[in-house]
Amino acid sequence: MSSERTEDFSAPSGSRNQPMSDGGCDTETTGNDASSEEGAHQNSTTAPGDTNRERKPEPAPKEVSAAKTITRSRLPALEDDAEVGLQKEQTVTRDGKADLAFTATLLATAAPACAPKGHWEENRIYQTTDGKHVFSKVTRSASMEEKDVYEAEVFDPSPSSVPTQLLRGAREIARARPITWMDAAVAFFGYDSLAKALYRKLSVRFEEQIS
């Protein structure tokens, strides 16, 4: 009996593949782990006459970028967090449009605490020397097969600027309320949890005031 127990428990418990921890976030069962568990369950419940049933091959895991893996491991910190509050020459990449080059102060950045599925967003707000605001959103993927997505918009406070006029809805026009850069920020980033984290880092109030 003792030899049988030794054979059953000879493999150390740490030898099984464990989901990689992601900055203290709750880990999720990966597709490969789920397939392995499902296959084990099927093997344990397969009737003797079904032993020759063909099993579908598991998809090959996507190749990840080493550089982006390092970036992901540092979330929610971003590489330019130390530049918040500093005025310098900035370049913001945009997909399908000309990149933006300007002198501005980085007002705030925001990123999630982790990216367990390999995707995350990075939000930034800049203020230029002439009073404009630049909003930047980068959607990143740790996979080398997927390209990062770059979006950016410029808000010009001038009443005659096209972006300002496009942001003015019927309600704002009726009330004759001027559009602010905060309105433009909400129009660009929305109100998801990451956007709210970005707003909380600014020295302005984005909450809706009610009486």
Residue that has been written with the tokens 């971003």 in this structure: 78
Residue-wise pLDDT tens digits, 122-140: 999 999 999 999 999 999 9
Mean pLDDT of 158-170: 59
* pLDDT over 70 at 75, yes or no: yes
Distance CA 200, CA 110 (A): 10
The pLDDT value recorded for residue 19 is 36
Mean pLDDT of 34-51: 47
Record the tokens describing residue 8, joined without a space.
Answer: 């059953």
Q: Where are the domains of the chain?
A: 67-200
The pLDDT value recorded for residue 23 is 42
Distance CA 14, CA 5 (A): 18
pLDDT band, residue 61 (cuts 50/70/90): low
Measured CA distances, 131 to 85, 104, 141, 176 (Å)? 15, 9, 33, 21
105 beta partners: 87, 127
Q: Residue 87, exposed/middle/buried by CB under 10 A (0-12, 13-18, 19+)? A: middle
